[in-house]
Structure 1
Amino acid sequence: MRITVIEHEADAGLGFLAGWLSEAGAVCEVVRPYLGEAVPERITGGLIVLGGEAAAWEDERCPWLPATRDLIRVCVERGVPTLGICLGAQLMALACGGAVGRGEHGLEVGVTEVVPLPAAGTDRLFAGLGPSLAVQYHRDAITELPPGAVPLATGDPYPNQAYRLGENAWAVQFHPEATPEIFVDWTAGSAETLTGLGHSVEELNTRVKESRNDLVGAWRPLAERFAGVVIAVQTA
């Protein structure tokens, strides 16, 4: 059971997902286009597109983004199990007819509450999820969902926290993969900016560390269920 992973930068890897997916039987093949590796035109198995600092439309900054959007669109159309995370969720929105822009409320960072919507109750990944803590780190936002998208979770101040396209494609604005260690790396790299925006880096880091068990409890099942979808599609 093979999952292709598009990683946009070295400090935004699979994190928690690496262990959860491996234990569920998945073999992840990580493609690193920032190191010159080519984004495939077609894949089998499953696809995960991770987060990154770039905006979903910054093709000059990250020349592989058009190929990534094309791959996402093809996977959605073909029913390949797909999961977009943060930037990956925004790329899916653009690839499939939605809209993404600078978030009008500015940077969302740290631990926030994500609230499931009614459609989550019968969704294969989100069923049974209650209001849950999630790690956030984004300044852009999905302002319009793609046609046919099913909203699955919301939050404050950015409502489009999770959605599904078709039967086998999901997108989450938050970071289910982010371990406390990864989050500390992110805040260390932008400490001056965060402080300038009025955030306490120490408080942000402490809150994520204290929430570790809640984060694992909420999002490990999502990863395991996504692995199950990949298995089901491959063996159908």
Structure 2
Amino acid sequence: MERVRMLVVEPSEIAPVGRLGEWLGAAGAELDVVRAPEIPAPSALDEYDALVVMGGGMGALDDLDHPWLADVRALLSAAVSRQLPVLAICLGAQLLAAAAGGRVAPVKKGPEVGTLLVAKRDTAADDPLFGALPLTPDVLQFHNDEVVRLPPSAQLLASSPACENQAFRVGICAYALQFHVETTPDTVLDWAESMPEAASTARPGQLDPEHLERFHAELAETWEPVAERFVRLAATPLEQRRGTRALPMA
């Protein structure tokens, strides 16, 4: 497989691409990482095989305080129009939803925080990224907002009791994950320290260092193969992505 180039947008320094970047690189991707407010124009996508957008502490529509959010949404909209593979995490997922015609709002039940599970929907069974996942994969949750209405072209892939729209696909290859898979224990502990009100909603013990170490080892076993499949998707010609839900063998 030829090496693929991916543009990675980090809206905030507190939410780096982290282990996800390591997994993508190990699978054969070359990452160009940019951090807000330096957001490339949509025309920059001509040079890339995929787009990755990470999380951050701001809201997806907080344009007054962060005017560059409109640039990220424009980038995501262009990627969807081009049928370029997208992987959008947490805030990135909300930005993708907003860019494609969905709606984002605060979580009705309050922040969703902790080492939790999501449940695959039946529609994910033949999806290139989600099909091989366990029925209830482990994920790390740390968010105040959620996607309350999916974009018109979206396919729901996973849900949780607190937030229905945990993972979805827009079009044929733009993926949104409301949860985190890229974190390290230190990242989560930093979030808990800087956002104590949200962290207090986690169940007892879920943000303890020892628990986070064990949890992240299991997280890698589940989600590193998904990163590998995303690299393969990015390397697959557009005509083949349109014609089948299966990916070529590595």
TM-score by length of 1: 0.92
Partner residue, 1:183: 188
Distance of 1:235 and 1:147 partners within structure 2: 23
Computed over aligned residues only, the root mean square deviation of the Cα atoms, in angstroms, reads 1.8
Following superposition, the deviation at residue 208 of structure 1 comes to 2.5
Asked if structure 2 preserves the Cα contact closer than 8 Å seen for 1:194 and 1:200, the reply is no
* Letter paired with 1:13: P
Structure 1: 5+ residue stretches without partners: none
Distance of 2:138 and 2:108 partners within structure 1: 22
Partner residue, 2:230: 226
Identity percentage over the alignment?
36
Asked if structure 2 preserves the Cα contact closer than 8 Å seen for 1:183 and 1:205, the reply is no
Asked if structure 2 preserves the Cα contact closer than 8 Å seen for 1:194 and 1:201, the reply is no
Asked if structure 2 preserves the Cα contact closer than 8 Å seen for 1:109 and 1:137, the reply is yes
Q: Is the counterpart of residue 16 in structure 1 residue 19 in structure 2?
A: yes
Partner residue, 1:33: 36
Q: Deviations over 1:142-163 (max 9, x none)?
A: 0000002110011121111000
Partner residue, 1:66: 70
Q: Is the counterpart of residue 152 in structure 1 residue 153 in structure 2?
A: no
Distance of 1:7 and 1:84 partners within structure 2: 10
Following superposition, the deviation at residue 217 of structure 1 comes to 1.3
Structure 2: 5+ residue stretches without partners: 241-250
**3-state SS of the aligned residue for 1:204?**
coil
Following superposition, the deviation at residue 202 of structure 1 comes to 6.0
Candidates 127, 132, 147, aligned match of 2:137 = 132
Asked if structure 1 preserves the Cα contact closer than 8 Å seen for 2:112 and 2:202, the reply is no
Following superposition, the deviation at residue 201 of structure 1 comes to 8.0
Q: Is the counterpart of residue 5 in structure 1 residue 41 in structure 2?
A: no
Following superposition, the deviation at residue 198 of structure 1 comes to 5.2
Asked if structure 1 preserves the Cα contact closer than 8 Å seen for 2:90 and 2:143, the reply is yes
Following superposition, the deviation at residue 63 of structure 1 comes to 1.4
- The alignment covers a number of residue pairs equal to 232
TM-score by length of 2: 0.87
